[in-house]
Amino acid sequence: MRRVIRGKVWRFGDGITTDHIIPGRYYHLRGDLAALTAHAMEDADPGFARAARPGDIVVAGKNFGQGSSREYAALVLVERGIQAVVAASFARIFFRNAINVGLLPVICDTDGIETGDVLEIDLGAGVVRDLTRGFTRDFAPLPRWMLRIVEDGGIVPHILARGGFGFAFTEGEGDGRV
Amino acid sequence: MRGQTLVEKILSRRLGRPVEAGEFVVAPVDLVLAHEGTAPLAIERFAALGRERPATGVLLFLDHAAPAPRAELANVQRRMRAFAAETGARLYGVGTGICHQIVAERWAAPGQIIVGADSHTCTAGALGAFATGMGSTDVGVAMAFGATWFRVPGTIRLDLTGRGSDGRGLPPSVTAKDVILHIIGLLGDDGAVYRALEFGGPVVEALDAEGRMTLCNMAVEAGAKTGLCASDGTILWFLEHMGRGGDFVPLVPDPDAPYERRLEVDLSGLSPLVAVPPAVDDVRPVEELVGLRIDQVLIGTCTNGRLSDLRLAAWIIAGRRVHPDVRLLVAPASRRVYTEALAEGLIEALVRAGATVLPPGCGPCVGVHLGVLGDGERCLSTQNRNFPGRMGNPRGEIYLASPATAAATAVAGELADPREFLA
Ligand code: SF4
């Protein structure tokens, strides 16, 4: 994964649930990811699935991805080409799911970041820059082993590429909110 | 050695060395579970890892949309049956009940580590297991390796005290559901994110295993990784009742366990509560909402579909009529609950009063079938979530309450205070 990511913002508020991201009424489409993705974020912003572009970044308030364990919530965002979700906090199952499917979660203060802003995420430095508005926010970088899973495209490719299961956990590295 | 929280104790026992909150560990997993909504992807991940046989116990459930309401879901169920037949995974089919209830009845035991592709896997914490919800990929990996990684969570300890000289009593018509709604209101829906909730104190000691399951079930609604209760004589009794007394291990946290936060909660003045949409932590006393128009009442789900819940509902409804303006749906949490309720005459009393009984399973909780709301309709439900669209229609509203409040509402035809029915 590139150390610096840049993309256009889709801004959402606090408490975006997995039902907002991919509603339960599309349960039957779970076998068809492309069809499911056409409904991504439908109950938060019905225009999102059509208008989002590969490389865009989702920005939200607190507790993003709260609710059910449905991994499809992270998957439809990846399928739509979203590179990263930046939120004030994440529900922990969503956070784990994001890592597992190769979607970068970043935890920082998101106040003042708005739809259409261009955001730059510097993974090495732990800094988010709003290039449109000219402010920066710091974040605690993910532990290196977690970032490696994201870089490998998720935990399954990670295990296949690295020949097995077992992580070099380094304590005190990043804040590892899982 | 320093004292340990329940979570630290369980993980330390399974790993054979002391672990502390904050540490990352790879731990063995005793049991994994998934249902129609999450199993297909878990199976796909398991297969992608090149494994043929699961490395741990695998339970698969047809509960979320069973019997299948559409061909796509019927085909998912066929694939799950085929996978179970090929790999020896245990499949619980249509009509057997909700995954978390069956896990509690037949599988969960103190000291186990359980990982489920469903957020309410934490229900089994009531029996002293470390049980947590994850996504399908995590569950597929745990299936393949019989282990997964965890960050040992810090713990928020809740000491619950009620009425009486022993502090064990709850006010009239106040149930475990009201208690957990109150706690979620206190903590907020993200108040326990990344943490474990440990429930204790006189009120919890006096609760039966079913009430403790209601508490632990909704730990995730405060964002928690899991909820836990000590495994004591009540749990021994429950396991014996389920024919599994041999699974019992006593497990209590140390008195000097290092809690991240410790909260004393006085429940002696609590009213029955209602969580108002669209948030689980917008919790209000029932008296503020009495008279609100309600179109549908649901009694059931992994939160409140157990025998004690149906008893409470039948106690209020028996001999009365469900109000003609309300549809009352009742879904027993498992076939066992259903047959016990039949034997006690609860089902007959409910049906005679006008209830519609649904097959054991999730019923309309997740909005796939059996009670989707119409535009502008309101449901009072004993379930655990009231998010927009949860019951299949973002233009419907869901209010959360106890089975007592639900039953009172079904009879009154509008949101009602159960204290007026349970004098
Ligand atoms: S009853 Fe509802 S909350 Fe419980 S497992 Fe089923 S869908 Fe999920």
DSSP 3-state of B230:
coil
Residues with CB under 6 A from ligand 1: B 64, 98, 100, 118, 120, 301-302, 362, 365-366, 383-384
Q: How many domains does chain B have?
A: 2
pLDDT tens-place string over residues B271-313: 999 999 999 999 999 999 999 999 999 999 999 999 999 999 9
Helix and strand numbers (H, E) in chain B are: 14, 18
**What's the confidence (pLDDT) of residue A167?**
66
Task: For an interface test with B, give the residue of A18, A93, A94, A142 to mutate (most B CBs within 10 A).
Answer: A93
Number of the ligand 1 atom closest to the C-alpha atom of B365:
2
Domains contained in chain A, CATH given: 4-138 (3.20.19.10), 143-178 (no CATH)
Q: What is the mean pLDDT of each run of 10 residues along chain A (178 residues)?
A: 90 96 91 94 96 97 94 96 97 95 97 98 94 97 89 93 70 48
CB contact under 8 A, B193 and A169: no
Q: Which residue in B43, B322, B18, B136 sits closest to A68, CA to CA? A: B136
Judgement on whether residues B53 and B111 belong to the same structural domain of the protein? yes
pLDDT tens-place string over residues B235-271: 999 999 999 999 999 999 999 999 999 999 999 999 9
DSSP string, B314-351: HHHHTTS---TT-EEEEE-SBHHHHHHHHHTTHHHHHH
**Residues of the domain holding B411:** 274-416
**What's the confidence (pLDDT) of residue B49?**
94
**Model confidence band, residue B423 (pLDDT cutoffs 50, 70, 90):** low
C-alpha distances (whole Å) from B28 to each of A11, B108, B133 are: 39, 15, 15
Side chain identity at residue B192, one-letter code: A
Q: Which residues of A touch B136 (CB under 8 A)?
A: 69, 71
Q: What's the distance, Cα to Cα, between the start and end of chain B in Å?
A: 51
CB contact under 8 A, A31 and B140: no
Judgement on whether residues B175 and B66 belong to the same structural domain of the protein? yes
Q: Encoding tokens for residue B238? A: 């429950």
Judgement on whether residues B255 and B373 belong to the same structural domain of the protein? no
Judgement on whether residues B380 and B407 belong to the same structural domain of the protein? yes
Distance of CA B42 to the CA centre of its chain: 22
**Gap between the Cα atoms of B350 and B187, Å rounded:** 36
DSSP string, B354-415: TPEEPPSS-GGGGSSSS-PPPTT-EEEESSS---TTTTS-TTSEEEE--HHHHHHHHHHTB-
**Gap between the Cα atoms of B371 and B366, Å rounded:** 10
Q: What is the CATH number of the domain that holds B56?
A: 3.30.499.10
Buried b (16+ CB within 10 A) or exposed e, B246-271: ebbeebebeeebbbbeeeebebeebb
Contact yes or no for B401/B177 (Cβ under 8 A): yes
On whether ipTM exceeds 0.95, the answer is: no
Which of B234, B249, B266 is at the close of a domain?
Answer: B266
**Distance from the CA of B299 to the center of ligand 1, in angstroms?**
12
